[in-house]
Amino acid sequence: MVELPAYRTADDGPALSRRLLALTEAGQPAACPVHVGLGDPVALSDNDALITHTLARHLAEGTAHTLPPFNSVPHPALRVLNAASWDRVDAMTADFAEMPVDLASGLWARVDEVCRHGAPSSPAERGAAAELMLRLGYPLRAAEILGLLDADITTHAFRPDMVRAELQTFMRLRPEARPVLEGRALRAAADPGLPPAARLRLANYIVVLDGKRGTATPEFHRAVALGRRATEEMPETGMVRHLAEHTLYRAIAFEPYLRGDREGTMEFLGRAARALEAARPAPDSPDFLSWSDHAFPMFETLSKTLLGYGEVPRALDSTARLVEINPNDHRAWAVRGRALAHAGDLDAAVRAWERILPLGGLPVAAAAFYLGWAHGQLGDADRARAFHRLSYSVDPTPETIAGRATASG
Protein backbone atom coordinates (compact mmCIF):
# COMPACT_ATOMS: atom_id res chain seq x y z
CA MET A 1 0.00 0.00 0.00
CA VAL A 2 1.39 3.42 -1.01
CA GLU A 3 2.27 5.63 1.96
CA LEU A 4 1.30 9.29 1.71
CA PRO A 5 3.18 12.10 3.44
CA ALA A 6 1.53 13.76 6.42
CA TYR A 7 0.06 17.23 6.10
CA ARG A 8 -0.44 18.84 9.51
CA THR A 9 -1.39 22.45 10.11
CA ALA A 10 -0.64 24.56 13.16
CA ASP A 11 -3.65 25.98 14.95
CA ASP A 12 -2.31 28.49 17.46
CA GLY A 13 -2.97 32.23 17.27
CA PRO A 14 0.16 33.21 15.27
CA ALA A 15 -0.49 30.39 12.78
CA LEU A 16 -4.08 31.53 12.28
CA SER A 17 -2.90 35.06 11.63
CA ARG A 18 -0.40 33.86 9.03
CA ARG A 19 -3.05 31.68 7.41
CA LEU A 20 -5.58 34.49 7.17
CA LEU A 21 -3.02 36.87 5.71
CA ALA A 22 -1.94 34.27 3.16
CA LEU A 23 -5.56 33.64 2.16
CA THR A 24 -6.14 37.34 1.47
CA GLU A 25 -3.25 37.31 -1.00
CA ALA A 26 -3.49 33.83 -2.53
CA GLY A 27 -6.18 34.56 -5.12
CA GLN A 28 -8.14 31.38 -4.30
CA PRO A 29 -11.61 32.70 -3.37
CA ALA A 30 -14.14 30.29 -1.88
CA ALA A 31 -16.72 29.50 -4.55
CA CYS A 32 -19.73 29.30 -2.22
CA PRO A 33 -21.25 32.59 -0.98
CA VAL A 34 -23.54 31.14 1.71
CA HIS A 35 -21.41 31.56 4.83
CA VAL A 36 -20.34 35.11 3.98
CA GLY A 37 -23.57 37.03 3.60
CA LEU A 38 -26.06 34.15 3.11
CA GLY A 39 -25.90 34.42 -0.64
CA ASP A 40 -27.83 31.85 -2.67
CA PRO A 41 -26.16 28.43 -2.98
CA VAL A 42 -24.25 27.83 -6.21
CA ALA A 43 -23.41 24.73 -8.21
CA LEU A 44 -20.28 24.17 -6.07
CA SER A 45 -22.00 24.60 -2.68
CA ASP A 46 -21.71 21.61 -0.35
CA ASN A 47 -24.33 20.14 1.95
CA ASP A 48 -23.15 22.21 4.93
CA ALA A 49 -23.89 25.35 2.93
CA LEU A 50 -27.27 24.03 1.80
CA ILE A 51 -28.20 23.29 5.41
CA THR A 52 -27.06 26.72 6.59
CA HIS A 53 -29.10 28.42 3.88
CA THR A 54 -32.10 26.19 4.64
CA LEU A 55 -31.96 27.11 8.35
CA ALA A 56 -31.80 30.82 7.48
CA ARG A 57 -34.65 30.61 4.99
CA HIS A 58 -36.99 28.79 7.37
CA LEU A 59 -36.10 31.16 10.19
CA ALA A 60 -36.87 34.18 8.01
CA GLU A 61 -40.14 32.63 6.80
CA GLY A 62 -41.33 31.67 10.29
CA THR A 63 -41.31 27.93 9.50
CA ALA A 64 -38.45 26.79 11.74
CA HIS A 65 -40.79 24.27 13.39
CA THR A 66 -40.87 22.27 10.14
CA LEU A 67 -37.09 21.75 10.00
CA PRO A 68 -35.76 18.19 10.31
CA PRO A 69 -32.84 17.48 12.68
CA PHE A 70 -29.38 18.18 11.30
CA ASN A 71 -26.16 16.57 12.43
CA SER A 72 -23.20 18.61 11.17
CA VAL A 73 -21.49 21.64 12.64
CA PRO A 74 -19.15 23.51 10.25
CA HIS A 75 -15.75 24.73 11.42
CA PRO A 76 -16.35 27.77 13.66
CA ALA A 77 -13.94 29.88 11.61
CA LEU A 78 -15.42 28.98 8.21
CA ARG A 79 -16.96 32.41 7.58
CA VAL A 80 -13.75 34.18 8.57
CA LEU A 81 -11.61 31.88 6.42
CA ASN A 82 -13.89 32.30 3.41
CA ALA A 83 -13.99 36.07 3.88
CA ALA A 84 -10.19 36.11 3.97
CA SER A 85 -10.09 34.12 0.73
CA TRP A 86 -12.19 36.90 -0.83
CA ASP A 87 -9.78 39.49 0.62
CA ARG A 88 -12.71 40.92 2.61
CA VAL A 89 -11.33 41.62 6.06
CA ASP A 90 -14.41 43.78 6.68
CA ALA A 91 -16.56 40.62 6.66
CA MET A 92 -14.63 39.06 9.57
CA THR A 93 -16.49 41.13 12.17
CA ALA A 94 -17.82 39.39 15.28
CA ASP A 95 -21.17 41.19 14.99
CA PHE A 96 -23.77 39.69 12.66
CA ALA A 97 -25.27 43.14 12.01
CA GLU A 98 -21.96 44.49 10.67
CA MET A 99 -21.75 42.39 7.52
CA PRO A 100 -20.83 44.80 4.67
CA VAL A 101 -23.90 45.85 2.72
CA ASP A 102 -22.53 44.64 -0.61
CA LEU A 103 -22.13 41.13 0.83
CA ALA A 104 -25.25 40.91 3.00
CA SER A 105 -28.06 39.29 1.01
CA GLY A 106 -31.73 40.01 1.48
CA LEU A 107 -31.95 36.78 3.47
CA TRP A 108 -29.18 38.03 5.78
CA ALA A 109 -31.18 41.20 6.42
CA ARG A 110 -34.37 39.24 7.17
CA VAL A 111 -32.54 36.97 9.61
CA ASP A 112 -31.01 40.01 11.29
CA GLU A 113 -34.48 41.50 11.70
CA VAL A 114 -35.79 38.27 13.28
CA CYS A 115 -32.86 38.04 15.73
CA ARG A 116 -32.09 41.70 16.39
CA HIS A 117 -34.01 42.10 19.61
CA GLY A 118 -32.85 38.96 21.37
CA ALA A 119 -34.54 35.59 21.19
CA PRO A 120 -37.20 34.69 18.62
CA SER A 121 -40.50 33.64 20.16
CA SER A 122 -40.83 29.84 19.93
CA PRO A 123 -38.35 27.17 21.10
CA ALA A 124 -38.06 25.89 17.51
CA GLU A 125 -37.13 29.38 16.29
CA ARG A 126 -34.65 29.95 19.11
CA GLY A 127 -32.99 26.61 18.45
CA ALA A 128 -32.77 27.24 14.71
CA ALA A 129 -31.52 30.80 15.21
CA ALA A 130 -28.83 29.75 17.67
CA GLU A 131 -27.71 26.89 15.42
CA LEU A 132 -27.56 29.27 12.46
CA MET A 133 -25.46 31.79 14.38
CA LEU A 134 -23.03 29.06 15.45
CA ARG A 135 -22.76 27.81 11.86
CA LEU A 136 -21.97 31.36 10.73
CA GLY A 137 -19.42 31.95 13.50
CA TYR A 138 -21.37 34.28 15.79
CA PRO A 139 -21.38 32.57 19.23
CA LEU A 140 -22.15 35.78 21.11
CA ARG A 141 -25.35 36.27 19.10
CA ALA A 142 -26.23 32.61 19.72
CA ALA A 143 -25.73 33.15 23.46
CA GLU A 144 -27.91 36.25 23.35
CA ILE A 145 -30.70 34.36 21.57
CA LEU A 146 -30.54 31.55 24.15
CA GLY A 147 -30.26 33.90 27.13
CA LEU A 148 -26.82 32.56 28.07
CA LEU A 149 -24.72 35.73 28.10
CA ASP A 150 -24.69 35.88 31.90
CA ALA A 151 -25.29 32.18 32.59
CA ASP A 152 -23.10 30.28 35.04
CA ILE A 153 -21.82 27.16 33.27
CA THR A 154 -21.50 25.30 36.58
CA THR A 155 -25.15 25.72 37.57
CA HIS A 156 -27.10 26.36 34.36
CA ALA A 157 -29.87 23.78 33.90
CA PHE A 158 -29.98 22.57 30.30
CA ARG A 159 -33.42 23.05 28.81
CA PRO A 160 -34.80 19.83 27.30
CA ASP A 161 -35.53 21.39 23.90
CA MET A 162 -32.32 23.44 23.77
CA VAL A 163 -29.66 21.11 25.11
CA ARG A 164 -27.66 20.74 21.88
CA ALA A 165 -27.67 24.46 21.09
CA GLU A 166 -26.85 25.46 24.67
CA LEU A 167 -23.93 23.04 25.01
CA GLN A 168 -22.46 24.04 21.64
CA THR A 169 -22.79 27.73 22.51
CA PHE A 170 -21.05 27.29 25.85
CA MET A 171 -18.27 25.32 24.16
CA ARG A 172 -17.67 28.10 21.63
CA LEU A 173 -17.78 30.90 24.19
CA ARG A 174 -15.84 29.20 26.98
CA PRO A 175 -13.30 26.80 25.45
CA GLU A 176 -11.13 27.08 28.55
CA ALA A 177 -14.02 25.57 30.56
CA ARG A 178 -14.34 22.52 28.32
CA PRO A 179 -13.60 19.99 31.13
CA VAL A 180 -16.37 21.50 33.28
CA LEU A 181 -18.78 21.48 30.36
CA GLU A 182 -17.96 17.88 29.52
CA GLY A 183 -18.76 16.91 33.09
CA ARG A 184 -22.03 18.82 32.91
CA ALA A 185 -22.90 17.09 29.63
CA LEU A 186 -22.26 13.66 31.13
CA ARG A 187 -24.42 14.39 34.18
CA ALA A 188 -27.20 15.73 31.96
CA ALA A 189 -27.03 12.57 29.85
CA ALA A 190 -28.10 10.69 33.01
CA ASP A 191 -30.87 13.13 33.90
CA PRO A 192 -34.28 11.40 33.64
CA GLY A 193 -35.87 14.84 33.34
CA LEU A 194 -34.43 15.20 29.83
CA PRO A 195 -36.06 13.37 26.91
CA PRO A 196 -34.19 10.29 25.62
CA ALA A 197 -33.25 12.01 22.33
CA ALA A 198 -31.52 14.85 24.22
CA ARG A 199 -29.73 12.40 26.50
CA LEU A 200 -28.54 10.40 23.51
CA ARG A 201 -27.06 13.54 21.92
CA LEU A 202 -25.18 14.35 25.12
CA ALA A 203 -23.89 10.81 25.61
CA ASN A 204 -22.75 10.53 22.00
CA TYR A 205 -20.98 13.87 22.33
CA ILE A 206 -18.82 12.54 25.18
CA VAL A 207 -18.19 9.20 23.45
CA VAL A 208 -17.02 10.82 20.21
CA LEU A 209 -14.97 13.48 22.02
CA ASP A 210 -13.03 10.93 24.09
CA GLY A 211 -12.86 8.51 21.18
CA LYS A 212 -11.15 11.09 18.98
CA ARG A 213 -8.68 11.72 21.79
CA GLY A 214 -7.89 8.02 21.80
CA THR A 215 -8.76 7.63 25.48
CA ALA A 216 -11.27 5.12 26.85
CA THR A 217 -11.80 6.90 30.16
CA PRO A 218 -14.36 5.91 32.82
CA GLU A 219 -16.42 8.83 31.51
CA PHE A 220 -16.24 7.33 28.02
CA HIS A 221 -17.60 3.99 29.20
CA ARG A 222 -20.27 5.73 31.29
CA ALA A 223 -21.37 7.72 28.23
CA VAL A 224 -21.57 4.52 26.14
CA ALA A 225 -23.89 2.96 28.73
CA LEU A 226 -26.02 6.11 28.94
CA GLY A 227 -26.32 6.30 25.17
CA ARG A 228 -27.54 2.71 25.01
CA ARG A 229 -30.09 3.37 27.73
CA ALA A 230 -31.38 6.54 26.08
CA THR A 231 -31.84 4.76 22.76
CA GLU A 232 -33.78 1.93 24.44
CA GLU A 233 -36.11 4.49 26.02
CA MET A 234 -36.85 6.48 22.88
CA PRO A 235 -40.52 6.35 21.93
CA GLU A 236 -39.95 7.55 18.37
CA THR A 237 -40.33 5.29 15.34
CA GLY A 238 -39.47 5.44 11.65
CA MET A 239 -36.71 7.68 10.34
CA VAL A 240 -36.17 9.41 13.69
CA ARG A 241 -35.65 6.08 15.45
CA HIS A 242 -33.34 4.70 12.76
CA LEU A 243 -31.18 7.85 12.77
CA ALA A 244 -30.91 7.68 16.55
CA GLU A 245 -29.74 4.06 16.34
CA HIS A 246 -27.33 5.04 13.58
CA THR A 247 -25.72 7.79 15.66
CA LEU A 248 -25.45 5.48 18.68
CA TYR A 249 -23.73 2.66 16.79
CA ARG A 250 -21.40 5.02 14.96
CA ALA A 251 -20.35 6.61 18.25
CA ILE A 252 -19.87 3.44 20.28
CA ALA A 253 -17.78 1.87 17.50
CA PHE A 254 -15.02 3.82 19.23
CA GLU A 255 -15.25 1.36 22.17
CA PRO A 256 -13.92 -1.72 20.32
CA TYR A 257 -11.71 0.48 18.13
CA LEU A 258 -9.80 1.84 21.12
CA ARG A 259 -9.13 -1.62 22.51
CA GLY A 260 -7.88 -2.85 19.13
CA ASP A 261 -10.92 -5.01 18.35
CA ARG A 262 -11.12 -4.75 14.57
CA GLU A 263 -14.02 -7.20 14.22
CA GLY A 264 -16.06 -5.42 16.89
CA THR A 265 -15.40 -2.03 15.32
CA MET A 266 -16.61 -3.14 11.92
CA GLU A 267 -19.64 -4.85 13.47
CA PHE A 268 -20.82 -1.58 15.05
CA LEU A 269 -20.08 0.44 11.93
CA GLY A 270 -22.04 -2.14 9.96
CA ARG A 271 -24.99 -1.73 12.33
CA ALA A 272 -24.75 2.03 11.94
CA ALA A 273 -24.78 1.71 8.15
CA ARG A 274 -27.80 -0.60 8.20
CA ALA A 275 -29.73 1.76 10.48
CA LEU A 276 -28.83 4.61 8.15
CA GLU A 277 -30.13 2.73 5.12
CA ALA A 278 -33.35 1.92 7.00
CA ALA A 279 -33.81 5.65 7.61
CA ARG A 280 -33.21 6.70 4.01
CA PRO A 281 -36.09 8.81 2.61
CA ALA A 282 -36.89 9.35 -1.05
CA PRO A 283 -34.46 11.74 -2.81
CA ASP A 284 -37.25 14.27 -3.32
CA SER A 285 -38.25 14.20 0.35
CA PRO A 286 -37.69 17.34 2.48
CA ASP A 287 -35.90 15.01 4.92
CA PHE A 288 -33.29 13.90 2.38
CA LEU A 289 -30.85 16.71 3.23
CA SER A 290 -31.09 15.72 6.91
CA TRP A 291 -30.40 12.08 5.99
CA SER A 292 -27.42 13.09 3.84
CA ASP A 293 -26.10 15.14 6.75
CA HIS A 294 -26.03 11.95 8.86
CA ALA A 295 -24.77 9.78 6.01
CA PHE A 296 -21.68 11.87 5.27
CA PRO A 297 -19.89 11.38 8.63
CA MET A 298 -20.92 7.71 8.55
CA PHE A 299 -19.13 7.01 5.28
CA GLU A 300 -16.25 9.35 6.13
CA THR A 301 -15.67 7.41 9.37
CA LEU A 302 -16.05 4.08 7.58
CA SER A 303 -13.66 5.12 4.80
CA LYS A 304 -10.94 6.29 7.17
CA THR A 305 -11.33 3.21 9.37
CA LEU A 306 -11.05 0.88 6.39
CA LEU A 307 -7.93 2.69 5.19
CA GLY A 308 -6.45 2.43 8.67
CA TYR A 309 -7.06 -1.33 8.56
CA GLY A 310 -5.52 -1.58 5.10
CA GLU A 311 -8.79 -2.68 3.47
CA VAL A 312 -8.29 -0.56 0.37
CA PRO A 313 -10.89 -2.16 -1.97
CA ARG A 314 -13.63 -1.64 0.62
CA ALA A 315 -12.39 1.89 1.25
CA LEU A 316 -12.71 2.60 -2.47
CA ASP A 317 -16.35 1.50 -2.36
CA SER A 318 -16.99 3.59 0.75
CA THR A 319 -15.37 6.74 -0.65
CA ALA A 320 -17.39 6.34 -3.84
CA ARG A 321 -20.53 6.57 -1.68
CA LEU A 322 -19.03 9.55 0.15
CA VAL A 323 -18.52 11.67 -2.96
CA GLU A 324 -21.97 10.68 -4.20
CA ILE A 325 -23.57 11.92 -0.95
CA ASN A 326 -21.75 15.27 -0.91
CA PRO A 327 -19.95 15.87 -4.23
CA ASN A 328 -18.80 19.41 -3.36
CA ASP A 329 -17.32 18.67 0.06
CA HIS A 330 -13.52 18.88 0.02
CA ARG A 331 -13.31 16.22 2.76
CA ALA A 332 -14.99 13.68 0.49
CA TRP A 333 -12.49 14.16 -2.33
CA ALA A 334 -9.57 14.31 0.11
CA VAL A 335 -10.26 10.84 1.49
CA ARG A 336 -11.23 9.56 -1.97
CA GLY A 337 -7.85 10.70 -3.26
CA ARG A 338 -6.10 8.94 -0.36
CA ALA A 339 -7.93 5.70 -1.07
CA LEU A 340 -7.02 5.83 -4.76
CA ALA A 341 -3.39 6.63 -3.94
CA HIS A 342 -3.24 3.71 -1.49
CA ALA A 343 -4.61 1.54 -4.29
CA GLY A 344 -1.71 2.66 -6.47
CA ASP A 345 -3.84 4.59 -8.96
CA LEU A 346 -2.10 7.98 -8.75
CA ASP A 347 -3.69 9.29 -11.94
CA ALA A 348 -7.16 8.78 -10.45
CA ALA A 349 -5.99 10.23 -7.13
CA VAL A 350 -4.85 13.35 -8.96
CA ARG A 351 -8.27 13.69 -10.56
CA ALA A 352 -9.91 13.36 -7.14
CA TRP A 353 -7.73 16.01 -5.50
CA GLU A 354 -8.24 18.28 -8.51
CA ARG A 355 -11.98 18.30 -7.72
CA ILE A 356 -11.15 20.35 -4.61
CA LEU A 357 -9.40 23.20 -6.43
CA PRO A 358 -12.53 24.89 -7.92
CA LEU A 359 -14.07 24.99 -4.43
CA GLY A 360 -11.45 27.58 -3.47
CA GLY A 361 -10.51 28.80 -0.02
CA LEU A 362 -8.36 27.04 2.57
CA PRO A 363 -9.00 23.44 1.33
CA VAL A 364 -6.93 24.27 -1.75
CA ALA A 365 -3.80 24.19 0.42
CA ALA A 366 -3.99 20.51 1.40
CA ALA A 367 -5.26 19.47 -2.03
CA ALA A 368 -2.37 21.25 -3.75
CA PHE A 369 0.11 19.67 -1.33
CA TYR A 370 -1.02 16.16 -2.28
CA LEU A 371 -1.20 17.06 -5.95
CA GLY A 372 2.40 18.21 -5.69
CA TRP A 373 3.37 14.94 -4.02
CA ALA A 374 1.48 12.87 -6.61
CA HIS A 375 3.04 14.65 -9.58
CA GLY A 376 6.44 14.16 -7.98
CA GLN A 377 5.73 10.44 -7.74
CA LEU A 378 4.63 10.48 -11.39
CA GLY A 379 7.89 12.12 -12.43
CA ASP A 380 6.59 15.59 -13.31
CA ALA A 381 8.88 17.81 -11.25
CA ASP A 382 7.63 21.08 -12.74
CA ARG A 383 4.00 20.41 -11.85
CA ALA A 384 5.05 19.18 -8.42
CA ARG A 385 6.85 22.48 -7.77
CA ALA A 386 3.89 24.50 -9.03
CA PHE A 387 1.42 22.75 -6.72
CA HIS A 388 3.72 22.95 -3.71
CA ARG A 389 4.05 26.69 -4.28
CA LEU A 390 0.26 26.99 -4.59
CA SER A 391 -0.18 25.12 -1.34
CA TYR A 392 2.33 27.36 0.43
CA SER A 393 0.65 30.48 -0.93
CA VAL A 394 -2.70 29.49 0.60
CA ASP A 395 -1.39 28.20 3.96
CA PRO A 396 2.29 28.60 4.82
CA THR A 397 1.99 27.16 8.34
CA PRO A 398 2.61 23.39 7.89
CA GLU A 399 6.29 22.59 8.32
CA THR A 400 6.09 19.95 5.63
CA ILE A 401 4.99 22.32 2.90
CA ALA A 402 7.34 25.06 4.04
CA GLY A 403 10.27 22.70 3.49
CA ARG A 404 8.97 21.50 0.14
CA ALA A 405 8.26 25.01 -1.07
CA THR A 406 11.78 26.07 -0.16
CA ALA A 407 13.24 22.99 -1.79
CA SER A 408 11.20 23.68 -4.90
CA GLY A 409 12.88 27.02 -5.26
Give the C-alpha separation, 241 to 297, whole Å: 18
Q: DSSP states of 291-327 as a string? A: HHHHHHHHHHHHHHHHHHTT-HHHHHHHHHHHHHH-T
pLDDT score for 117:
60
Q: What is the b/e burial string over 84-109, where b = at least 16 CB atoms within 10 angstroms of the residue's CB?
A: bbbebeebbeeebeebeeebbbebbe
Q: Is residue 298 within 8 Å of 248, Cβ to Cβ?
A: no
- pLDDT greater than 60 at residue 409: no
Residues 6+ apart with CB under 8 A from 219: 182, 183, 186, 206, 210
**Residue 104 confidence class, pLDDT cut points 50, 70, 90:** very high
Give the C-alpha separation, 381 to 403, whole Å: 16
pLDDT score for 315:
97
Considering only CA atoms, which of 79, 72, 106 is closest in space to residue 95?
79
Considering only CA atoms, which of 91, 78, 9 is closest in space to residue 365?
9
Q: Is residue 239 within 8 Å of 279, Cβ to Cβ?
A: yes
For the segment 268-282, what is each residue's pLDDT rounded down to a tens digit? 999 999 999 999 999
pTM over 0.95: no
Give the C-alpha separation, 271 to 282, whole Å: 21
Least confident of 20-24, 152-156, 260-264: 152-156
Give the C-alpha separation, 392 to 25, whole Å: 12
Residues 6+ apart with CB under 8 A from 161: 123, 127, 198
What is the mean predicted confidence (pLDDT) over 193-218?
89
For the segment 223-252, what is each residue's pLDDT rounded down to a tens digit? 999 999 999 999 888 898 999 999 999 999
> Residue 361: left (phi > 0), alpha (psi -120 to 50), or beta?
left
